[in-house]
């Protein structure tokens, strides 16, 4: 899996990040996994044409010592489709900025 990972989280940092993600994205059916909607202006041509598959998401996986921002862009409406694919450059950059912004907002040194 292609992803942006930040490891060596301290227990206090984990709790801050968990609270932040819970508040903004709610908890998912699987503990520690959050579905973050991808901005619609970042969709590629295929994703934009697949109206029935929208919205698209990327997963954030939070564990006690690591947080991973997955680069696989998915829909929650289907398991397989041509529109489910790895992030293009703009999407990838947006996911990395999103991850970094959490640490900036919470004033956590990574």
Return d(Cα 67, Cα 58) in angstroms, integer: 13
pLDDT bucket at 8, cuts 50 / 70 / 90: very high
Percent of the chain with pLDDT over 90: 88
Pairing of strands 3-7, 66-70: antiparallel
Please provide the average confidence, as pLDDT, over all residues in the chain: 94
- Give the model's pLDDT for residue 77: 87
Per-residue pLDDT tens for 90-106? 999 999 999 999 999 99
pTM, rounded to two decimals: 0.92
Average pLDDT over residues 55-77: 96
- Give the model's pLDDT for residue 29: 74
Percent of the chain with pLDDT over 70: 98
Distances from the Cα of 43 to the Cαs of 22, 39, 84, 92, 109, in angstroms?
25, 7, 11, 11, 31
In terms of residues, how long is the chain?
Answer: 110
* pLDDT higher at 63 or 1: 63
């Amino acid at each position: 899996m292609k992803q942006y990972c930040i490891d060596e989280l301290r227990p206090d940092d984990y709790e801050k990040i968990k609270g932040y993600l819970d508040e903004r994205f709610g908890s998912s059916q699987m503990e520690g996994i959050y579905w973050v909607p991808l901005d619609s202006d970042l969709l590629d041509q295929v994703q934009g044409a697949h109206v029935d598959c929208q919205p698209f998401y990327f997963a954030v996986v939070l564990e006690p010592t690591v947080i991973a921002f997955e680069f696989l862009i998915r829909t929650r409406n289907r398991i397989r489709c041509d529109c489910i694919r790895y992030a293009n450059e703009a999407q990838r950059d947006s996911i990395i900025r999103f991850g970094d912004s959490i640490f900036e907002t919470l004033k956590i040194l990574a």
